[in-house]
A and B are shown apart, each in its own frame.
Chain A
Amino acid sequence: MAAGDETAVGTLYDRHGASIMHLAQRILGERADAEEVVVDTFTQAWRGANRFRSTRGSVAAWLIVIARSRALDLARARGRRLRLADSAARQPPELVPGMAQGWAEDEPPPERTELYRHVSSALGALPAEQREAIDLAFWGGLSQSEIADRLGTPLGTVKTRIRAGMQKLRDALRPLYSESLP
Chain B
Amino acid sequence: MTGSDPASLRELAAAYALGSLDPDAARLVESMLRESPDLAREVAEYREVAALLARGQPAAQPDPALRARVLERVARERRKAAPRPTMPPRRWSVGLAWAAAAMGVAAAAIFALEARSRSREATLLRATLEQALDTLAARDRLLETLLSPATVSFTLTGQRAAPQPSVAMFWNREQNVWALHATALSPTPAGRAYQLWFLRGAEAIPAGTFETSAEGQAVVVGTGPPDPRSMTATAVTQEPAGGSPQPTSTPILVGTVPQR
> Taking beta carbons and an 8 Å cutoff, which residues of A are in contact with B?
1-23, 26, 35, 38-39, 42-43, 46-47, 49-50, 52-61, 64-65, 67-69, 72, 92, 95-98, 100, 102-106, 108, 111-113, 115-116, 118-120, 123, 134, 137-138, 141-145, 147, 159, 162-163, 166-167, 169-170, 173-174, 176-182
Contact = CB atoms under 8 A, between A and B. Distances in A.
The 7 A-B pairs at the shortest CB distance, nearest first, are namely A119-B56, A7-B104, A22-B59, A137-B20, A166-B14, A179-B118, A177-B48
B55 A64 contact: yes
Interface of B: 11, 14-15, 17-22, 40-41, 44-64, 66-67, 69-71, 73-75, 77-78, 100-105, 107-108, 111-112, 114-115, 118-120, 122-123, 126-127, 129-130, 133-134, 136-137, 140, 143-144
Contacts of A103: 60-63
A159 B133 contact: no
A18 to B, nearest CB: 4
A104 B108 contact: no
Contacts of B56: 115-116, 118-120
A53 B123 CA distance: 10
Given A112-B59, A118-B56, A15 B111 contact: yes
A142 B77 contact: no
30 contacts: A1-B140, A5-B136, A8-B104, A8-B107, A8-B129, A9-B70, A9-B71, A10-B67, A13-B71, A21-B59, A23-B54, A39-B70, A43-B73, A49-B133, A50-B130, A52-B130, A54-B127, A58-B51, A61-B50, A68-B19, A72-B19, A95-B60, A115-B56, A138-B20, A141-B19, A143-B21, A144-B21, A163-B15, A169-B53, A170-B45
